[in-house]
Chain A
Amino acid sequence: MNLRYAAIKLLRAMITLWLVVTFVFVVLRLTGDPTQQLLPDDIGPEIRDYYRAAWGLDRPLWEQYLRYFEAALRGDFGISFRNSQPAIDLIWQRVPKTLELGLATFFCSLALGIPLGVLAAVWRDSWVDRLTMSFAVFGFSMPNFFLGILLILLFALNLRVLPSSGYGTWQHMVMPVFTLATAFAGAIARFTRSAMLEVLSRDYMRTAEAEGASRFRQVWWHAFPNAAIPVVTIVGFSLGGMIGGAVVTENVFAWPGVGRLLTSSVADRDLSIVQGIVVLVAITMVSANLLVDLAYGWLDPRVRVGGQERSR
């Protein structure tokens, strides 16, 4: 059963990746002459023909597709025409900076969102609960570019305590991380809250209470591990939103990461880089979802059984 589940999920992940790569190929090839799109406008027809042959565009479409696919498997997305380096190298240079931002955001969101969600559930309808829910709605509705600009206005331009943009010291990270983490932490808090509310209403919680476990122990030892699984899922699914948010946030704060490379490449129509980033994002998302799926499928029955046992 489990093996079958894992095999299906793996197969789906592969198909998703294949669809992304094919999508890029189709959009790129079937909408016009790639030399028109990939090369600058001001070159002569003989150079264009040279590239057409070099890229195999005179070949049949299926052969082009196979070549393209094989190159993509090797991580070869072509040369950036803007600065003549392999696209993949340019992307890799930016990855650590985005990861830095992403990981910091991730940990801050969890550190803020989970306790808030748990406390909101435990003290339901209290001011903590209301504050948490307001925070979640705020994070959901606040465009992160606007939040970033408000932060710059307040902390960089008026109070002058933080640098307005750029990369380097920890001070540079404060505002971007805060901007990104707001929406993410809100979503996690909200989800943790509803997962906890459900767990707290189950029978074994009443048993734990009857056994005289302290409230702290009841909540963190008995209830939270059972609420953790749905929370893991939402964390996985929120990754996409976070990647999108990172693109915008990096632009607001001039953070030299993949997101900023993407938007400048889109503006310049540097398509080698754009397709490389699209595939990279797809791989990230698919792996994350696969991990969440597998973790869920593997953990779920065991944890439930564990919960039942504790109730006796």
Chain B
Amino acid sequence: MSAVLAEATEPDEPRPLLRVAGLARRFSLPRTSLFGPRPELTAVADVSFDLAAGETLAVVGESGCGKSTVGNLVLNLLSPSAGSIRFDGEDLASADDTRWRDRRRDLQLIFQDSRSALDPRLTVEAQVAEGLEIHKVATAADRKIMVAAMLEAVGLGGDLARRYPHELSGGQQQRAVIARALVLEPKLVVCDEPVAALDVSVQAQVVNLLRDLQRNLGLAYLFISHDLSLVRHVADRVAVMYLGRFVEVAECRDLFAAPAHPYARALIGAVPAARSRRGRLVRPLRLEGEPPSPMNPPSGCPLHPRCPFATDLCRTELPALRPRADGRSVACHHAEASQADGLEAQGGSDASQPLKVFP
């Protein structure tokens, strides 16, 4: 069940583009007493997943659950405390700085805040060209052509290319960020809330652009977002994250139709669109209280203080992320009960109020 084991036992399986196993990241905080231990915050605890070429895996969860940290770890913008990252068959956890710099050509990111993601003192054109210069791709003349073509493809052709970031609109800035990441023709792009800062009308355009580019260039996306309606639109598979752990990983369609993990139910039940598909309703689950502090996670299942299905088992034993027969993986001792409860009684649950998950 662990990734290493899976690799050893199934050598014939096509190798995934990205294989993350047991990934963890802890941050130490300043000491509170003179000689006391440094308190630690576990942002990501034991995360494992595979991502195939051309696939989109979305990571969803509330802010602070560690989903952005997963993205930063995959890109080595943070170094992991534990775990391994294999990209294209190469163990990146042991790669040195030089190797990483080379690999970055294949591993790019798109940020949430496009305004700060662009250097205010360089033209869009110059910034898009930068990755090509760094990796010494082609000749200077060819690079110009590649940059122009890429900018054209994201809709920033002609005069717009020679503008400075502050002379562009938010949507145009995000297109520039996308162009900068994709001109290198990477294999994997981490999209960290790529459209969250944009107006709703612009969001759709940018998302469609991302999808078109994926189709044309065969990109894999690790798509980090808290916006479930967006995720439903773009993802092939979805990982639901709670307090640094993946609690459910499933095909996008399956998850939205019938979430198994109680937390996934709470999240998805809160999305209005999830409640009318194919006549079935995901009955929202009401969780009690607030998410606990990652400095001081509860024993056993991290959700147990808030979960209506919690039993003594949940309080003592951490449920593992188990693959199930229906293709999804769930980390819950009572997933079947929860899932069944979520789907019973069509239309009967309108009275229960959708949980407000997002602040």
Contacts and interface: CB of A to CB of B under 8 A. Distances in A.
A4 B33 CA distance: 8
B32 interface: yes
B32 to A, nearest CB: 7
Nearest to A5: B34
For chain B, the bracket of interface size reads: under 10
B28 to A, nearest CB: 16
B166 interface: no
Interface residues of A, number: 4
A174 B114 CA distance: 62
Interface residues of A: mostly helix, strand, loop or mixed?
A: helix
Contacts of A1: 32-33
Interface in B249-304: none
Interface in A4-62: 4, 7
B294 to A, nearest CB: 23
A282 to B, nearest CB: 28
A3 B32 CA distance: 11
B306 to A, nearest CB: 33
B31 interface: yes
A216 to B, nearest CB: 42
B274 to A, nearest CB: 45
A4 B36 CA distance: 11
Nearest to A8: B34
A4 B32 CA distance: 9
Contacts of A7: 34
B26 to A, nearest CB: 22
Contacts of A4: 31, 33-34
Nearest to B35: A4
Most buried by B among A1, A3, A7: A1
Interface string A135-158: 000000000000000000000000
A118 B6 CA distance: 73
A7 B34 CA distance: 9
Contacts of B32: 1
Residue among B31, B33, B34 with the highest chain A CB neighbour number at 10 A? B34
Interface in B29-52: 31-34
Contacts of B34: 3-4, 7
A185 to B, nearest CB: 39
Contacts of A3: 34
Nearest to B36: A4
B31 to A, nearest CB: 7
Nearest to B34: A4
Nearest to A2: B34
Nearest to A3: B34
Interface in A202-255: none
A3 B36 CA distance: 13
A1 B36 CA distance: 11
A301 to B, nearest CB: 15
B194 to A, nearest CB: 40
Nearest to A4: B34
A304 to B, nearest CB: 20
Interface string A186-208: 00000000000000000000000
A96 to B, nearest CB: 40
A101 B31 CA distance: 45
A93 B31 CA distance: 48
A182 B54 CA distance: 72
B176 to A, nearest CB: 39
B168 to A, nearest CB: 36
B38 to A, nearest CB: 12
B100 to A, nearest CB: 35
A106 to B, nearest CB: 35
Nearest to A7: B34
A4 B38 CA distance: 14
B34 to A, nearest CB: 4
Max chain B C-beta neighbours (<10 A), residue from A3, A4, A7? A4
B297 to A, nearest CB: 25
Interface string B214-256: 0000000000000000000000000000000000000000000
A1 B31 CA distance: 8
Contacts of B33: 1, 4
A7 B33 CA distance: 12
A162 B5 CA distance: 94
A7 B35 CA distance: 12
A112 to B, nearest CB: 41
Interface string B1-39: 000000000000000000000000000000111100000
A284 B34 CA distance: 28
Interface in A45-89: none
Contacts of B31: 4
A250 B30 CA distance: 48
A4 B31 CA distance: 10
B39 to A, nearest CB: 13
A74 to B, nearest CB: 32
Nearest to B31: A4
B302 to A, nearest CB: 30
A144 to B, nearest CB: 41
A309 to B, nearest CB: 25
A142 to B, nearest CB: 38
Nearest to B32: A1
A294 to B, nearest CB: 16
A3 to B, nearest CB: 6
B285 to A, nearest CB: 42
A6 to B, nearest CB: 10
A3 B31 CA distance: 12
A10 to B, nearest CB: 13
A303 B303 CA distance: 42
7 contacts: A1-B32, A1-B33, A3-B34, A4-B31, A4-B33, A4-B34, A7-B34
Top 7 closest pairs, chain A to chain B, by CB: A4-B34, A3-B34, A7-B34, A1-B32, A4-B31, A1-B33, A4-B33
